[in-house]
Each structure stands twice: as C-alpha cells, then as structure tokens.
Structure 1
Amino acid sequence: MVDVPKVLPVTLFLAFVLSLSVNAGIPKILRGRPKGGMLGVPKWHGKKEELPPDMWLKQKLDHFNDADTSYWEQRYFVNDTFYKDGGPIFIMIGGEGTADPIWMVEGMWIEYAKSYNAMCFQLEHRYYGKSHPTENTSVENLRYLSSEQALADLAYFIRYTRDKYQLYHNKLITFGGSYPGSLSAWFRVKYPHLVNGAVATSAPINAVLNFVEYLDVVSKALDTTGPMCNKMVQTAHMTVGKLLQTDSGRKQLKKMFNLCDDIDIANTEDVANLYSNLAGNFEGVVQYNKDNRAFEGAVGTNITVDTLCNIMNDVGRGDPIDRYAAVNALMLTTYSEKCMDFSYKKMIDDLTKTDWNSSAAEGGRQWMYQTCTEFGFYQTSDLKDQPFTGFPLNFSIQQCIDIFGAKFNADLIQKGINRTNTNYGAYGMKPTKVVFPNGSIDPWHALSFTTTSVDQPFTTIYIDGTAHCANMYPSTPVDPPQLTEARKTINTLIGQWLTT
C-alpha cells in the first residue's frame, strides 16, 4: 500500500471556496463550533510550499463490518525534521474541521517534538477537510461518521505508519484539542496497547443532551469584568423580547440590529434563531478569549470579553439595547457581514446540502450529525441564572429533525448520548497517562475533568483565566504565568510517559 501526495482539483477547490462564501445561513458559531472547526490554526509566516504535502493512505470504510470491503483515501501529514533514531511518535488527531499543515510546524506540540526528537504526524478526521469516505454526505452515507470509526482509523493509521517508517518500538503520544481532545483520551481508554500517553486539551468527556452549563460559564466569564456586564446584557436581551411583541418594535429591531429580513413573530424558529445569534455574539468571544490563536486569515481575535463588556457598560452609548446593538454591529463589521441572517430556513437549507462542493465542505453538517447521534452538547438558554433566553432545548432537537429526518428526535439523540457515555465512561473513565488541560473561561471545561482526587490515575490542569485550547497555541511574552506553567507541566508529563 503506497501513499503519495495528492492534488485537489482546481475546480473542486474553487467550489469549496465558493461554498464558504454562500453558506451565510449557518451562524458564526453552531453547537459550540465556529465555521472551520473548534481548533484554529497558529499564525505562520513561512511559504505554503514549505509545508508538508498532503499524504494519503487507504482506509477501511467500516471497521466493524468485515463483510464490507469498501475503502477510501484518508489524508495525513508528516514532519520528520526533528526526529532522531529512537525518538517517539507524536500524533495530532484531526477533528471537526480541515486538518491544516501549519500545525505541523507551529504550536506547543512542535516545541515538545523538538525537545524529544519526535516524528510528527497529523491525521485528518473522516468526513472533514479533504478526507471523503463517501460520494456525498447523505444521511445514509453519514452512518459511517462516528467517534468509534475515527478511533479505529487512528488505530490502523498507527499500525500503518509504524510499518511504513519502521518505527516498530518507538513510544507514541497523541495530542488533541476540543473534540479531538476527547478522541485523544478515548483512544487511550480503548487502545491502551497502541499509545503511551495522551494530551486531551479542552476535551468534553461527558455527553449531555441539554448543555445548560455552557451559558453558565459564559455568564461567569462576563462577571470577571465586573458586576454590571451581565445585568446590562440581560436587560438588553429582555428589551428585545418586549420589542418583538409589536410591529413597530420589530421594525425597530430590524433597523437597530441590521437584520437581513423582516421579523415574522409567528415564525418561532426564526425568533429562536435570532435570540441564539445574539447570544452567539458573546459565546464565541468567551470561548476563545485571549487564546493566542492569531491564525492565518482569522478575524475577531482582537475582540475579547473586556471589549464586549466595555461596550455594554458604556452609558454614553445609550440604553442597554443600544449597546447590545453596538456589539452586534461590531461583530458584523469584524466578520464582513452586511446584515444578520437569522433565517431558520436558510440555515436548514445550507445544512441539508450533501455535495462535497456545497456547505458540506465546511463541516457544519457533519458536526451537526455527530451531535444528533452521539453527543448532544446543545447550548440552550434553559438555565435560569444567566442573561439569555429564547432558544430552549426543543429548538436544537428540531434542527436534528429538520436536517436529518423525523427519526432524529429527542429519544434517538438521548439513546446515542447514553451509548457514548457507556462506551467511553464519561466521568467514570479512569485512564492512566492522560492529562486534561482546561481553561476556566472555556465553557467546554464544564464537561471535562478540572479537579483531581486521590483515586484518579490521570492528571488535570485547570488554567485560571484562559480559554478553549489556549495551551496548544504558540507561547507569547504576555501569556499569564498559569498558562506558562501548564505548558511546562505537560512537557514534564510527556517526558515521564516516554521513560516509564
């Protein structure tokens, strides 16, 4: 079996780029996932041709059905520039977005690789980026998309690379952030004979239907700037609800928030989507607050919790709803959006497209499928003690039904969640040689391990004041001491795993 660099046809590439510009119906952040995936890409000033090329291997379509002999090509990257004979294997696990070769030359795991003379690999997750196991993303074809299949892909990939690169006895460490962080920990649970240690950054390990804790963390993050920010957001959000009740109020909202369409108060999905998008202006900023991403082509990395709360607390900008509208205007300008598109139908239409040259190329449909079949993770407004309202649990469940079919109801979703937690252990899992770094500002830490008890065989690192996957990005001179210390601890643990 030979792997060779593979070139993406120009027509497909152009179609992919086009798809990213036309799927405006999909919110900036959906189910906790920004467009492109939850893990960004470090900034890099080199040339594209200097990055490792796309490499490909033949992968089994269904690892759990020997009667199915279908195969497909999965993408991966290699960087052997730091490797010395006997050095370890480092693997970055791909997740719910395109695997980027910039990670092969940047990021803290590369610094660790230099220290330990590691051979580095990155494996793209099936159904994301260029790794297309099926001809499209129809519901029938998406049945091969699951965390279990992804872990089996990784297991085969490890056996394949050990043979190809003659790394038969080298120790191996996996790295992942966000959902890939979960995969990193779960791989250590399911395939302990193949991996010697795992870094599971910002990894949700407990699947839940109603992830009310998400907005609880967002609310507490806003509180870090002072007691008034949450109050102003809540007052503004409630004012939106009052204005929705009259025709003149709805016209006022359209103008204030630069909405793409008129508001139809009878369209409950549109109204819920409007509420959700307004909350999303804050959710995305909190989730990635001061995380040092600064990734290529990224926008919004200069907007922080302080930025938003300074606006909400500025009485010179008018009433709280005027400040709320100012936050929305800032986000529209930052993301080069002409207006706020809150149309539920447009969002569903985008997420029901199945061609690889449609919005499916971005990955939102695939991630939505995984939440509807395995994880839930629905960030609703059902928690009382937080400033947002208007997008309850049934709004998220209805999206599963409208995108994938009537059978994807609450009962089916809950069964999938139960199976995930039973399969991997959720909070009951007890893997050895795993570290769980989490940031206090990151809402996803609520579904991970953040404290240590005497009977835990793994390590937790709770980093005060940092956000989603912050410890994975390159260090900067202004990093808080606790983040710097966390990176040192991870490095020390890797050293221990490699020598025991």
Structure 2
Amino acid sequence: MSTNNMTSYQNGGQHKYTPVAVGEDSDVVVLDQEASLLSSNKRKFLLGGALSLWVACVALTRNLSSNSPFMDVLLPDGRHDYRSDTFIPQWMDQVVDHFDDANDATFKQKYFTYDKFWKGPGHPIIFVLGGEDPMDDLITPFAYYYMAQKFGAMSFGVEHRYFGDSFPIVNYTNQDLVQLMTPEQAVEDFAHAAQFIRKKLGCSMDKSSKHYCPVITVAGSYPGFLSAMLRLTHPEVVDIAYATSAPLWLYSHGVDHKTYYDYVTMVADAAVPGCAAAVKETVMEFHDWAVSPDATMFEKANEIKICEGGIPEYITDSNSLELWWTEVNEIVTAHFAEADMGYYPPGPDAELERACRIFLQEGASMQEKIGNMLTMRKEWQSTGCFDMHSELPVGKKATISASDWSGMGDGIKAFMWELLSCQLLPQLTQSEESMFYPREWTLEWTANHCKERFDIDVDPDRLRNYFGFEDLTGVDHLLFINNIADGWSAASVTVPPPNSGIEVINVINGAHCSDFRGPGKNFDTPEMQAAHKKILEIIAKWLKEIKDERKQSK
C-alpha cells in the first residue's frame, strides 16, 4: 500500500503517470511525457502505448532463452534455491513508543541476518524491511542473495511491529494500537534497527571512516513506501533506499479514486482480450440475481459454491441479500486485484489469465463462473467450495468490505493491516469504465468503518504532512522500481522528480514486487533481467559516490 509544491507532477491536483526506460539496451516501456491514466482520453493512449508493447512482451516471454547474469543456478527455473537457506530468528530491544520521551519501555523485535557474502566492516548492509506479514526469512532473494553477493554485504531484515512475533504491547487495547501501530512508529523502528546492526557488526558510525557500513533499505509495496520515507526522514542513517511497487501517490491521495481498478481492468483485457467485457457482463448479471428474493441466501450461496456454514454471521443475521451480494462481490473484485499483483511471469498458467478464461467460458452459467472464480485457488479445489470467512479479519464489527478494498485476508494479520489502512486510506473506486460492478469509495464510509472498528479518526492529510513526501526536491540515492502490469504502478513515482537524484526503473511486464524474486534464466523475462542489471549498476554508482565522499572528507 505522501502539502508541498508539486506542480510539475500534477494536472488538476492529480499526479502524472509516465514510465521511462531503464536503459538504451533494454526493452522497457517508454511513454510520452504527457501520458496519464487519469483521464479517459489519455487512458486510451496508455492502452495503445504501454499495454500494446506489454502484450507483445507477454507473447515474447512465453519461451525464454536468455541467460541470467548470475552463475548461481540451483532451481530448475534458474534462480538461487532460497529454500535451502537457514534463517534463525534473533531479537533486539526496540522502543515501544518513539514519540513519548517519558516512556522508556522496550519490546523484543524479531530480525534475521544472512552473512554468506559479508566482507566485514566497511561494506554495505542490505536492510530488508518487514511489512504486513509475519517475517520468517528475508523475503527478497534478489536483494539478500544476489545484491549481497555483488557488494559483499550483510543481509539484515526486521519484522514490522504488530505482525508475526513483534508486539510492543501483547495485551493491547484499541487505544494502544492507534498510538503504536502507525507508519511513523515503524519508520522509527527501522531507523533504530539500522544503527543497532551497525553497532553489532562493528561498523563505524562515522561516515568518514573506512569501517563505515552504508545501509541500503530494500522493500516493496507498503514497506516500499517505508523504505522511501526512511531515506527522506533519516538520510543520516539510511544511505540508499530501494523501493519497489510503492504507491506513494495513493497514500498522498494525489490520484483519482478509480485509477487502480481501471488499470487492473486494462491489464486483464490486454492479457486475455475480451476478459473485461465478459467479467462486466457476469458481475452485472450476478448482482441482479443475487439481490432478487426468488430464493434464500443459503440456496443462492450453494449455487456459487460457497460452503455450508461459509457465510459470516453478520451477513446471515442481517438476512440481507444486498449485504451478502456486496461481500461476495468484494471478494471477486479483490481476487482479481490479487491475481493482477501476481501476474509474473506472464503466461497462460498465471492466475490472472486463468481467471479471465473462467469468465470467457462458453456455455457456462453466471453462477458457474462466479463459483469457479471463488474456488479456483488450490486451497479450495480440495473442498470444492469457498468459505467467506477466509476474507474476514478478526475483531468486533469486522466486515469483508474493509478499509482496503483490494482485499484483506483473515485473522489477526488482516486486523492489523486494516488498522494501517485506516491511516493509509487507499481510495479504490470501481468505476463504470472498469470491468467490475460500480462501487464508489468514499471517505465518509471509510471514516465510519474505521471509527466503529478501531475508534480511530481518519486524517487523509496526516502522512503527507508528517513525511512531506509530495515534494521530493533534493532527495537523492532513492530508487523506485515500478512493474507496469501491477495496478499499483499507476500510483507510484514513475518519473524522476525534477531537481532530485532519484532514479526510476519501469519494467513493462513485471507485476507486484516481481523484481525481488529472481533472477533466473527460465523465470525472468528479458526486461526483468535488464532491470536487475540496471539496479545493480545504479546502486554500485551510489556506493562509489559514498566512498568518494568519505575520501574527500579526510
């Protein structure tokens, strides 16, 4: 998943969407500087430009034969066999509340290290930031293994507070969470952790010392946003930040509400022509059938493969077909969002293309299509039915439609992510132009929901005012990676801001955070391999600049 001068990025208050190439020898998309997803005419231009090139790349990458630039090929697809790596949880003392000087309480925060390539003090630390999942390993093979191999680095990763095992207060109240479970607290955690690992490794804190260890933060999506914020707020601690699939403009609320799902629609229709029309026809028919009182909720649920007992009580207690339809529709929409995020490498076996083919199946009824979409994943194929509780967070007044309309999941993890989303406030309208049933996101709906769930007062200006991330003037050593098949790329930094040292790489057929998975000669597309090469070149250049500055300071 941030009121400063940003006129060069805005058109009527909305940020431009303008991908650029990674290099002259790459096949990464190049768009006109005026291309924008935020108007219908320019959206058509985008389809004709970026996505037509991307469709060609889909066909090209079905049969990959190019070589990986790395020699360590252990998996059949050419990637390092990360399954063989051993990660032992370690624990450090972390501050419970970074914004209360009178509170000196600490908690145990989980972290991991990987020292296979570490060459000792004076070499970099690759710092993988945890996000909205428990951390059981270092998540990002490209960073912790290949980047570390390239630069003789120590790999280090820290779990995000209140995910997994890192709880500042175990028996928490909502008031505790509102105060402690925030992006601001997480940024301070990671800044403290960077200095902790420097000291533990024997690195100097003096940037002029040959034993100084530059810290490179690496993360994607919401933690990718945190990676960028660390470089903005703590440049004295974080030397280089690598942020992939990081939707800054979503969190600053600088893009139109309908941008994300309009983009997912375009990607799906480019992947499987005719997908958008087929989905739209089905979901419109589904609504009319679902809310009709010709049968009970349970009879209708059975027709679309929802398990017996698989409807949450807040829906059954309401006896409202409209509420039941709303929540099933939310699940179908969110599953498409998740399929788009996972659309890499592109191909017929990818979930996005399989989902599209479900809706294009001739002779299948609307009920069969919705049911097959719900049960298409492996975990439901064995049961033959779908349990709606799998998309329901825990806690009082929990609903499937929550503060993040791209999907929540279930359990305590979803509860914590929903609390964060009440602060990030992703605006995710499903417009008339999208392939989904029209549903307008409103701040009023979200504010009421977040107040009922967490007793939190939403503030859409809070994060951008605190971090100041709408004005990136003067920021350097910050790298944004955007994977253009990913809907979140429509809300990311896709052009280097003026008067900055920020670099941007846009990978035309990459999906959400897919640059972290490889590289692999039978896995990564040629475009992704070119991006990996460029990433290493940029970071090597910046590390040299840091080293040269150290020499000049003596």
Alpha-carbon distance in structure 1 between the residues aligned to 2:173 and 2:223: 24
CA drift at 1:247: 2.5
1:377 correspondence with 2:426 = yes
Q: Which amino acid counterpart does residue 305 of structure 2 have in structure 1? A: N
Residues 472, 463 of structure 1: alpha-carbon distance in 2 compared, 3 angstrom cutoff:
same
Matching of residue 439 in structure 1 with residue 483 in structure 2: yes
**Which of 235, 239, 254 is 1:192 aligned to?**
235
Q: TM-score, normalised by structure 2?
A: 0.71
- Secondary structure in structure 2 of the residue aligned to 1:428: coil
Distance 1:270 1:78 in 2: 46
State whether structure 2 residue 530 is matched by structure 1 residue 485: yes
Give, in whole Å, the separation in 1 of the partners of 2:136 and 2:392.
29
Shift of 1:253: 3.5
- Identity within the alignment, %: 23
In the alignment, what sits opposite 1:258?
305
The answer to whether the Cα contact below 8 Å between 1:176 and 1:199 also exists between their aligned partners in 2 is: yes
2:494 aligns with one of 450, 465, 473: 450
Partner of 2:127: 91
Note the C-alpha offset of 1:337. Answer: 5.6
Q: Residue 329 and residue 164 in structure 1: after superposition, are their counterparts in 2 closer, same or farther (change >3 A)?
A: closer
Query: In structure 2, how many angstroms separate the alpha carbons of the residues matched to 1:268 and 1:160?
Result: 53
Residue of 286, 306, 316 corresponding to 2:353: 306
Residue type matched to 1:367 in 2? Answer: W
Per-residue deviation, residues 15-41 of structure 1 (Å, max 9, x unmatched): xxxxxxxxxxxxxxxxxxxxxxxxxxx
Q: Please state whether the residue corresponding to 1:72 is helix, strand or coil.
A: strand
User: Is 2:151 the partner of 1:116?
Assistant: yes
**1:182 CA drift (Å):** 0.7
Measure how far apart 1:360 and its partner are: 9.1
CA distance 1:245–1:95, change in 2 (3 Å): closer
Pick aligned residue for 2:386 from 328, 337, 340: 340
Alignment check: 8 A CA contact 1:53 1:77 kept: yes
Corresponding position of 2:8:
none
Structure 2 CA distance, aligned partners of 1:305 and 1:351?
32
Give the secondary-structure state (helix, strand or coil) at the position aligned to 2:325: helix
Contact 1:233/1:324 (8 A) holds in 2: no
1:391 to 1:489, Cα distance in 2 relative to 1, 3 A? same
Q: 1:173 to 1:348 in 2, by over 3 A?
A: closer
Note if 1:464 corresponds to 2:508.
yes
Give RMSD over aligned pairs.
Answer: 3.0
Q: CA deviation at 1:283?
A: 1.5
Which of residues 427, 432, 435 in structure 2 aligns to 1:387?
435
Q: Quote the Cα distance in structure 1 between the aligned partners of 2:341 and 2:296.
A: 30
CA–CA distance in 1 between the matches of 2:81 and 2:174?
Answer: 36
2-structure distance, mates of 1:352, 1:311: 30
1:311, 1:160 → 2: CA distance? 51
* CA distance in structure 2 between the partners assigned to 1:345 and 1:192 by the alignment: 39
Task: Name the structure 2 match of 1:364.
Answer: 414
Q: In the alignment, is the contact (CA less than 8 A) between 1:275 and 1:391 conserved in 2? A: no
Deviation, 1:328, is 2.4
Q: Matches of 1:429 and 1:57 in 2, distance apart?
A: 32
User: Number of residues paired by the alignment?
Assistant: 432
Give ranges in structure 1 of 5+ residues lacking alignment.
1-41, 293-300, 354-358
Q: Deviations over 1:315-351 (max 9, x none)?
A: 1x42455334322232375475664344799656478
- 1:190 to partner: Cα distance: 0.2
- Residue 496 of structure 1 corresponds to 541
Q: Deviations over 1:293-326 (max 9, x none)?
A: xxxxxxxx954222122222221x4245533432
Q: Residues 71 and 200 (structure 1 numbering): CA distance in 2 closer, same or farther, change over 3 Å?
A: same
Q: 1:75 matched to which residue of 2?
A: 110
Partners of 1:362 and 1:90 in 2: CA distance: 29
CA distance in 2, matches of 1:418, 1:118: 38
Partners of 1:114 and 1:153 in 2: CA distance: 27
Deviation at 1:270, TM superposition (A): 3.3
Distance 1:257 1:146, change over 3 A: same
In terms of mean alpha carbon deviation, does 282-291 or 65-74 score higher? 282-291
Q: Does 1:229 align with 2:283?
A: no
1:248 match: secondary structure: coil
2: CA distance between counterparts of 1:458 and 1:280?
32
Report SS of the residue matched to 1:101: coil
2:247 to 185, 204, 211: 204
The alpha carbon displacement at 1:218 in A equals: 1.1
- Note if contact 1:204-1:447 (Cα within 8 Å) is conserved in structure 2: yes
CA distance in 2, matches of 1:343, 1:270: 13
Give, in whole Å, the separation in 1 of the partners of 2:397 and 2:284: 30
The whole-number CA distance in structure 1 between the counterparts of 2:441 and 2:290 is 21
Distance 2:139 2:349 in 1: 21
Asked if 1:138 is matched to 2:181, the reply is no
Which of 392, 396, 403 is the aligned partner of 2:453? Answer: 403
User: 464, 467, 481: which is aligned to 1:421?
Assistant: 464
Q: How far off is 1:268 after superposition?
A: 4.6
Does the CA contact (< 8 Å) of 1:348 and 1:403 recur in 2? no
Q: Secondary structure at the match of 2:227?
A: helix
Write the distance in 2 (CA, Å) between the matches of 1:344 and 1:96: 17
Closer, same or farther: CA 82–310 of 1 in aligned 2, 3 Å: same
For the structure 1 residues 304 and 349, does the alpha-carbon distance in structure 2 shift closer, same or farther, using more than 3 Å as the test? same
Deviation at 1:232, TM superposition (A): 0.6
- Compared with structure 1, are the counterparts of its residues 102 and 345 closer, same or farther at alpha carbon in structure 2 (3 Å cutoff)? closer
Confirm whether residue 163 of structure 1 aligns to residue 199 of structure 2: yes
Change (3 A) 1:344 1:116: closer
For residues 309 and 462 of structure 1, the distance between their equivalents in structure 2, rounded to whole angstroms, comes to 25
1:24-103 matches, cutoff 5 A: 44-46=82-84, 51-85=86-120, 86-101=122-137, 103=139
Aligned to 1:20: none
Cα deviation, 1:187-231, whole Å, max 9, x if unaligned, reads 000001112211001112131568432211210111113441101
Secondary structure, in 3 states, of the residue corresponding to 1:433? Answer: strand
**Letter of the 1:111 counterpart:** Y
The residue aligned with 1:29 is: none
1:96-123 per-position Cα deviation (integer Å, ceiling 9, x unaligned)? 111122538x334420101110011101
Tell whether the 8 Å contact from 1:449 to 1:460 is kept in structure 2 after alignment.
Answer: yes
Using a 3 Å threshold, how does the CA distance of structure 1 residues 336 and 128 change in structure 2: closer, same or farther?
A: farther
Q: Name the SS of the counterpart of 2:231 in structure 1.
A: helix
Match for residue 215 of structure 1? 261
Structure 2 spans left out of the alignment, 5+ residues: 1-79, 205-211, 400-408, 546-554
Contact 1:97 1:362 in 2 (8 A): no
Residue identity in the other structure for 2:452: D
Amino acid at match of 1:494: I
What's the CA shift for 1:162? Answer: 1.8
Partners of 1:291 and 1:468 within 8 A in 2:
no
Contact 1:270 1:342 (8 Å CA) reproduced:
no
Distance 1:140 1:434, change over 3 A: same
Q: Which amino acid aligns with 2:270?
A: T
- TM-score normalized by structure 1? 0.79
Is the CA contact 2:483–2:508 (under 8 Å) kept in the aligned structure 1? Answer: yes
